[in-house]
């Protein structure tokens, strides 16, 4: 696609004239201008200066499958049946699920832009082109559906550990699948499971992480949000960051498959964004208030209300801090 080639040319952050771009791409200058409009529609800021040409401020940190594979430990690369980076896709979870259904044991799928990226409860995941990390890890488990209880919480811990390795120290986890920092949303997890109650299960772990969001677009998100670049003096680049997160994820999945969530419970308690705080649990039109007492060995949220502690499981339940 010519737009991919145009992105590669402009990713260095320097000015390129319309004539230079047209000659390199083998298209007219008017066609270049139309492609620039397409980039802007994807949320990419492009400067246009008469006499100098086009420039993407600060350039683009594009994902590169070959570079990523070099940064990931060889034994982990060997464990991935499928490794696929794409520019634009409906959803990386869709790619991961298709790979599992075609017989793959596992795989990693990443994209610069998702046209229908989803968060939990069907919400849209907002992510400008090449600004964040949107990826899915496909994985098979052999112990049955019941053994997967608490998986999304374990995934949160894995991502938290990966971010700690690059110097992000203050990540908290909001049950069941959000990453927060300084009270703002940093990322989200969407785990989709199918399979046998007692046998093999297919799991797709979708991750959206704010890495370098343009300030204007960060402000447009419906809830207070933050990105990695705001939390470290310099982040290692998206390819390296992705490699670190995948390494941490695979380590955690190995532990989870052999020992379950129970061994991770205390670590999750320490990261709980609502630890011993007043919260509201919302499920459709129903709402219950109480004190968050963490989670049990199965990953259920423990809520103390009217002198009793009750366990609540995921699905369509949301947790909100009490105001005032």
Same domain, 228 and 288: no
Percentage of the chain with pLDDT > 70?
A: 95
Catalytic residue flag (residue 120):
yes
CA–CA separation, 13 and 171 (whole Å): 31
Confirm whether residue 234 is marked as ligand binding. no
Q: Which of 52, 105, 216, 320 is catalytic?
A: 320
Q: pLDDT digit string (tens) for 50-77?
A: 999 999 988 899 999 999 999 999 999 9
Do 261 and 283 fall into the same domain?
no
Same domain, 143 and 250: yes
Which is the catalytic residue, given 55, 120, 265, 293? 120
* CATH number of the domain encompassing residue 36: 1.10.10.10
User: Is 123 one of the annotated binding-site residues?
Assistant: no
In this predicted structure, what is the pLDDT of residue 143? 83
Tens digit of each residue's pLDDT (9 = 90 or more) over 227-236: 999 999 888 9
Residue labelled with tokens 């795989």: 107
Of 252, 269, 286, the residue that ends a domain is 269
Domain C-terminal end among 27, 55, 83: 55
Residues 6+ apart with CB under 8 A from 95: 84, 86, 89, 109, 136
Based on the residue annotation, tell me whether 2 is a catalytic residue of this protein. no
**pTM for the full predicted model:** 0.91
Would the pLDDT of 129 be above 90? no
Do 151 and 35 fall into the same domain?
no
Do 307 and 242 share a structural domain?
no
Residues 70 and 130 in one domain: yes
Does residue 246 belong to any structural domain of this protein? yes
Task: Determine the pLDDT at residue 223.
Answer: 83
Domain match, 50 and 19 both: yes
Residue 60 maps to a domain: no
CATH number, domain of 297, equals 2.30.30.100
**Judgement on whether residues 144 and 159 belong to the same structural domain of the protein:** yes
Report the CATH number that the domain containing residue 216 is assigned in CATH.
Answer: 3.30.930.10
Q: Is 52 annotated as a binding residue?
A: no
Active-site residue flag, 164: no
Reference 137, options 107, 181, 103, 175; nearest CA is 107
244, 294: one domain: no
Q: What is the arithmetic mean of pLDDT over 109-120? A: 78
Is residue 114 a known part of a binding site? Answer: yes
Candidates 185, 238, 265, 293; catalytic one: 185
Whether the predicted pLDDT of 277 surpasses 60: yes
Separation CA 266–CA 262 (nearest Å): 8
225 is in an annotated binding site: no
Higher pLDDT, 178 or 283: 178
| Structural domain containing residue 133 | 65-269
Count of domains for the chain:
3
| 230 and 87 part of one domain | yes
Q: Are residues 141 and 234 in the same domain?
A: yes
């Amino acid at each position: 696609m010519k737009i991919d080639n145009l992105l590669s040319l402009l990713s260095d952050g320097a000015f390129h004239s319309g004539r230079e771009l047209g000659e390199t791409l083998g298209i007219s200058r008017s066609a270049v201008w139309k492609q620039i409009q397409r980039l802007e529609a994807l949320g990419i800021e492009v400067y246009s200066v008469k006499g100098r040409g086009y420039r993407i401020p600060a350039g683009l940190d594009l994902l590169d499958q070959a570079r990523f594979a070099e940064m990931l430990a060889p034994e982990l690369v060997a464990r991935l049946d499928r490794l696929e980076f794409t520019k634009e896709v409906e959803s990386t979870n869709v790619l991961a699920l298709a790979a599992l259904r075609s017989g793959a044991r596992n795989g990693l799928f990443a994209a610069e832009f998702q046209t229908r990226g989803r968060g939990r409860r069907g919400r849209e995941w907002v992510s400008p082109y090449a600004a964040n990390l949107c990826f899915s890890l496909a994985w098979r488990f052999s112990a049955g559906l019941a053994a997967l209880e608490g998986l999304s919480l374990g995934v949160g811990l894995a991502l938290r550990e990966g971010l700690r390795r690059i110097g992000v120290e203050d990540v908290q986890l909001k049950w069941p699948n959000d990453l927060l920092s300084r009270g703002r949303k940093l990322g989200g997890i969407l785990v989709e499971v199918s399979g046998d109650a007692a046998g093999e299960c297919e799991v797709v772990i979708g991750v959206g992480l704010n890495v370098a969001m343009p300030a204007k677009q960060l402000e447009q998100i419906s809830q207070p949000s933050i990105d990695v670049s705001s939390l470290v003096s310099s982040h290692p680049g998206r390819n390296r960051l992705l490699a670190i997160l995948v390494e941490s994820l695979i380590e955690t999945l190995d532990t989870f498959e052999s020992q379950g969530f129970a061994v991770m419970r205390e670590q999750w308690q320490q990261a709980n964004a609502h630890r011993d705080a007043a919260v509201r649990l919302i499920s459709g039109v129903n709402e219950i208030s109480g004190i968050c007492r963490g989670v049990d060995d199965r990953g259920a949220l423990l809520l103390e209300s009217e002198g009793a502690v009750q366990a609540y499981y995921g699905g369509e339940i949301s947790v909100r801090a009490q105001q005032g």
